[in-house]
Each structure stands twice: as C-alpha cells, then as structure tokens.
Amino acid sequence: MDGSSPAPSRSGMGAALRQDSALKHCTGEARFLDDLPEPPGTLHAALALSPVAHGVLAPLDLAPARAVPGVVAALGPRDVPGRNDISPSGLAAEVLFAEGKVEHWGQPLAVIVATTRNAAIAGAAALRPSIEVLPPVLSVEEALEAKALLMPPQVIERGDWQAALAAAPVALEGEFHCGGQEHFYLEGQIALAIPGEDGDLTLHSSTQHPTEVQHIAARVLGDDYNRITVQCRRMGGGFGGKESNASWVAAVAALAARATGRPVKLRLARKADMAATGKRHPFLYRWRAGCDAEGRILALDATMAADGGHSLDLSGGVIFRAVTHALNAYDVPALRVTGLACKTNTVSNTAFRGFGGPQGALLMEDVLFAAARATGRHVDVLRERNFAGGPNGDETPYGQALEGDLIRRVWAEAKQGAEWERRRAEVDAFNASHPTLRKGLGGFALAFGISFGITAMNQAGALVHVYTDGSIRLNHGGTEMGQGLFIKVAQVVAEVFGVEVERIRITGTSTAEVPNTAPTAASTGSDLNGWAAHSAASAIRGRMAEAAAALWGVAPEEVAFAEGQARAGNRSMEFGELAHHCWAQRISLSATGFYRTPDIHWDARSMRGHPFFYFSYGAALAEVLVDRLTGEYRVTRADLVQDCGRSLNPAIDRGQIEGAFIQGLGWLTCEELWWDAQGRLRTLGPSTYKIPGSREMPPVFNLRLLSGAPARANTIFRSKAVGEPPLLLATCVWNALRDATGAARLDLPATSERVLAAFAA
C-alpha cells in the first residue's frame, strides 16, 4: 500500500467516527487523572508561589509549613537531589524552585506535602518568604529599552531591502501590540507520582509530552531515564499548555514522592495554574514598508518582539515560527524580519496552539491595511495583489515554495460562499443609515507550515500487537487531549488490516511502550503517529500475508485484507483465524513502527532551508456588528474554508477547525491578561479572564473543507494536519473590526474598550 489510494470503509480512512471516548465523556465514566482511585497512603502537594514579581530571595524558612497539622514534608531548592533545572531545551538555566532571586509573581518557591490537599495549601500559605523587592520589567518596550533578550535575534533577510524601501513610491510604517493568551484547559495541571521498587517511579501526568516529563523528572531526581515511566491516557485539554509546563509539575510530584516514599498527587488549583504556568507570547510589532501606487508591497523591514517572560522555555521555537510566518500567504520581494525574545518579570511564556504562527501572521495584515489607506484601495484588493505565486514570487524568504494556486483557491471559495460583494454593499448601506451601530467585514488567507521547527523532533514510534483472536492493541507516542488523535490513528490501523475500528484497542500513552517520543504538538500528531502506526501494522500485515500466501499457494501480493477477512482469489479467511494460524506457524504478530518526516532541513545560521513538510491553507471571512457608543460588538457571521488534504476523519477535522477558530477569536477579542503595576496577574480565573462562551459563536458559522485537494506531499493517506492552522483564521475578525471602526491601529485583544477607543481615534 502506498498510502495514496485507500478504499472506502465504514471505519477506516475518511470515516466520520467519534472521538474515541465520546460516550464515556458524556456519562462521566471517562477517567481523568484526578478521577483515578488514589493508591493507599497518597499524599497531596501544594506549591508555595512568589508573592513578588522581582526580588532578592533569602533562603526560605520552611518550618512554618511543617508546623501546620497534616503537613508531612516541605521541600525547596536545597531538597532537590538532582538538578534544580527544568529547561526543556537544555539551552538555559531555568529553575524548578526559585533560589537567590524571584523573577515573576507566582514563581514556585517550594512544595508542601500533606495528608490532605487543604493541609498542603494551608502549609504553603503559612510560609513567609523574605524578598527584597526590585522593580519589575513588565512590558516588551521596557525590555527592549534595557536590551533584555533571552536569546540572540532571529533574522530572515531577502534582497536589498534597504534600497527597495528607499525606492518604493509609497512609504508605510506601523506599530501595534497583540496580547498573550491563557490556555484555560478545563482540566488544570496535575500529576500523580507512585514510587515502586528500587527507586522506580510511575508518573501519571496530564501531558502532551510524556518523554519530556520523564527527562525533567529524571534530571530533578538525578535518575537514569529508565527508572521513570510516564503514562497519560487523556488530558482535559492541552493546547500547548501541557507541552513543557506539565513536565515541571510532574517533576514536583516525583520529587515529593521520592522524599516521602509515598504516592503524591499535585493538582494545581485554577488560580495557581494561571499564576505559575506559561501562556501565549504577547508581541510588539514595529515595521516599515514600501509599496507602489497599486498597493503591491515591495519592501519590508519588521521587528517582532515577543514577551518571553522570565526564562527561555520554548521561546526560540515560537520566534522561529513567528518569523517564518511573517509573510503568511503573501510575497514581499525584499525584506528583513527580526524576531526577538524579550525578557520580562512575568511567567515564562510557552507553546500555545499556533506557536508564534498566529502572531507572525498578524504582521502582513497590518501592512496591508496601511497600504490600503495610503493607496486608497480596498484591503481585499491588495490582499489578492500580494498573494504569493501567480504573478508574484512563490518562494518564502527562507527558500521554500508556497502553492499559490491553493492560496487563491481557498480565498476565492471563501469569498464566493460568503457572497462577499453583495454583503459589502449591504454593510455600506446599513452604516450610512444607522445612528449608533456599525457593521464591518474582514477577510484573511493563510499558509501554515507543518512540521516541528526542530528537525530532530519530526519522528514518531508505534507499537502494534495482533492477538490470536484477531483483536488488535495499538499504542503510539501521541497523546490524546480531545483532538481525536487516538481515533484517527486507529482508523489508519483499521485501514491497513482491513478491519473495523472496534477491533482495535486504543491504549494510553506510555514511555514504557514507545520511547523517545516527540510532544504531541505542532499539529503533527496524526501525521507522525499515523505513519508510525501504519509502518507497524504494515509489517505485521506483511507477515500475515506471507503466511496466508504459503497456505494458499499464492504470491503474498495477491493477499488482500478487507472487511475483516484476508482474501486471495476465491480463498478467504477471517482475520482472527489467520492471526491464530500465524501463531501456530510461529510468526510474530507484534511490531514497532517508526517514522521520520522526509525532505526537511534547516540552517539556523543562514535562516534558510526547507523546514516544513508541507503547508496547510485556509481562508476566512467575518462580519461584525459594533456599537459605536459603547464598543460592544458581536461577530454575526463567519465563513471558513480549510484545507485538510484528504481528511482522515471529517467529523474530527470539523471539530478542530470550529474549536480552533473560536479559540483564536477569544485570543483576539475578549481574552485579556492584565497585570498590575507590581506585576501581579489579576485575571486569574474564569471570573476575570473571559474565554468565549456559546454566544460568541457566530450565529451564522459556515465551514467548508477544501475538496478534491489531496496533499501533494506523501502524508498519511494524503491528509493534512488540522490542529493549529484554523486558529489563525480568526484573524478575519480583527480585520472586520478595523473595517467597522476605520481605525488605523487596533491593538489586540480588541476588547470593547479598545474598539470604543478606536472609534474615537
């Protein structure tokens, strides 16, 4: 099987199956980590967090916590047997517990372990850290002023941009901000560490990256990796927030279990979670550009400065994706794009669905609006004029080609489906007649690169067993956070064996079954693990085909697997019967599978290469209704077109697209992180940090998966990744608000407050 021409099936490729645990979610039977029965003697942990954003920290006196009834242990940096270092990249010093200095409000100082969770929390509250307060750096502007960077700039250049800027007939410039975003996974960070024999440790962790949990826990404990087994059956949401942050939470539980010899559970309360774990990076943009009288952008010099928080974490990768997505679906012949990771006294910002891509793609929207104002043309006309490919160049500034035909196709289909031209006239008429309300229309087109920016991470493993009754057990390195990965990979295996998916037992992720895995992130879950599982299943199927061929006296290639049967000519055998036959013939029915993404490379020195296996395309259009008296607004309609290649599972993909769009909408509109002058985050729970509710869903919400567009790269069954790209489609809402307000600048999130101010500007 070459993976390119699957036969239709009830439960294999392309079937709209449910998320694997859907019914169990609805009955309450699906067990999340906190629902697992606690082993006897389980202790509960709570973190002591810094009450100060920046200061000199005296060694922490843990005695007051130990004096609280029920407290069993209190552990600080000096109680770490290995290294007090949780850096996911290993490129920077990042402490688990603050030592000598505190660098953000909410930074972990110590862990208190007690017989009850309330006692642990009371113990943490009893501590009185002695901190000499220093002034905190709280904004990107301040960090730039102080030249406080977490890593060297990442710069992509093409052509003589200085000459092109000078020569361009129309000079443009701009500056704006976008905010960060709290993941607000409904299930907060949690880990349960269970000590075993000889220092072995089983770590249940709600994590997107079991292997990194293993590594960080081992580093903190000073253990070999083989002592620690990490398991995760499901997460109650991840969105990037459980990529690196889950690791240190689990390491704390591991440390406490090692110190007490008892099982320890650490579940962060919502406010502790929001205070101590990283978020999407806020960005500051400053740019200059030049265009011709027709609005074709000729040159660009842009700085995108991210607020990385107090430490590096994954900021290098976030900046990489921001700078490689700065042109998004557009072409600019000459440019320089500089990406900076600024250091501030806030929580260390981290992965969040899109990983810098959403921030990168905002840049050209601002440039196009400015060009539209300067040239007196409509921004959508300029959008089309500047698309990559066609009459323009199709190569990204780092040397990889975009598919200009797909960009134009998704945009055209979106416009056509949305009746864009007709509604433009209606909106203009409404705005001319209503005394207080204004409507606006906004569009957006997307090209999103798929693959981890770090080439080595683009690998995956799987483990498949076929038992002698024909039942199949599937395990792989990907984690399930609700995105439907487990059912998609099971569908791949079902397709390979020609069986219904019910025959396949989906199992939780474990470092003991598949080692050395990449995180489930960067939208790559089904691309990587699908191929790895395909490889494992194909190896077994090949052996089974040989066994059947020997039995029937045919060539192995003649043996087909479909509808639960192996067949060749007029011979057939039930799949389970063949499995049993293989066992009797002493043929292995177990295989590991491995996959590495081909054709990707990157030279970080020249900032050139082919870092992405392929691009995912999309387009979106939104209409908003705004009250110019109060700034209140509503997205009244959205029309989306998303390229999923040949969808592995259209029901799952639709859910990812709709959910990502609303999550992106939240980032750009109502989700505001607000720090006070002392650097305390004051939007700490859902009462103050407002993610979209059901009413934020546009009442008209149309979605189309791009049809007849199988991936041109050799992806698993020619499907395309879908986790992150549609989040960026929500950018059309920003553009619609700019259209309604007519503002030259509208910082994000575009709260009602900012929208009202935009009318006045």
Q: In 10 A of CB 394, how many CB atoms? A: 16
Q: Give min distance, CB of 124 to other proteins, in A.
A: 10
Q: How far apart are CA 463 and CA 338, in angstroms?
A: 42
Q: How far apart are CA 22 and CA 230, in angstroms?
A: 24
Beta carbons of 36 and 192 less than 8 angstroms apart: yes
The residue whose two tokens read 């700065």 is: 326
Choice between 399 and 686, CB closer to other proteins:
686
Q: Give min distance, CB of 28 to other proteins, in A.
A: 2
Kindly tell me the number of DSSP H helices and DSSP E strands found in the chain: 20, 29
- State the catalytic residues: 724
Choice between 480 and 495, CB closer to other proteins:
480
Q: Give min distance, CB of 736 to other proteins, in A.
A: 13
Handedness of CA 737, 739, 742, 745 (dihedral sign): positive
Choice between 184 and 612, CB closer to other proteins:
184
Q: Give min distance, CB of 601 to other proteins, in A.
A: 34
The residue whose two tokens read 């700085």 is: 303
- Supply 73's token pair: 């242990």
Q: How far apart are CA 381 and CA 295, in angstroms?
A: 9
- Supply 22's token pair: 């859907």
Choice between 183 and 325, CB closer to other proteins:
183
Q: How far apart are CA 617 and CA 712, in angstroms?
A: 13
Choice between 28 and 376, CB closer to other proteins:
28
Choice between 270 and 465, CB closer to other proteins:
270
Q: How far apart are CA 713 and CA 557, in angstroms?
A: 26
Strand residues in 40-188 grouped as ranges (E): 43-49, 55-57, 71-75, 101-102, 108-114, 131-133, 154-158, 170-178
Q: Give min distance, CB of 473 to other proteins, in A.
A: 22
Q: Is 351 exposed, middle or buried (0-12, 13-18, 19+ CB in 10 A)?
A: buried
Choice between 369 and 689, CB closer to other proteins:
689
Instruction: Please state whether the peptide bond connecting residue 64 to the residue before it is cis, i.e. omega within 30 degrees of 0.
Output: no
Strand residues in 309-355 grouped as ranges (E): 334-342
Q: Give min distance, CB of 649 to other proteins, in A.
A: 10
Find how far residue 600's CA is from the centre of its chain. Answer: 20
Q: Is 48 left (phi over 0), alpha (psi -120 to 50) or beta?
A: beta
Q: Give min distance, CB of 647 to other proteins, in A.
A: 14
Choice between 6 and 236, CB closer to other proteins:
236
Beta carbons of 449 and 611 less than 8 angstroms apart: yes
Q: Is 620 left (phi over 0), alpha (psi -120 to 50) or beta?
A: beta
Q: Give min distance, CB of 509 to other proteins, in A.
A: 15
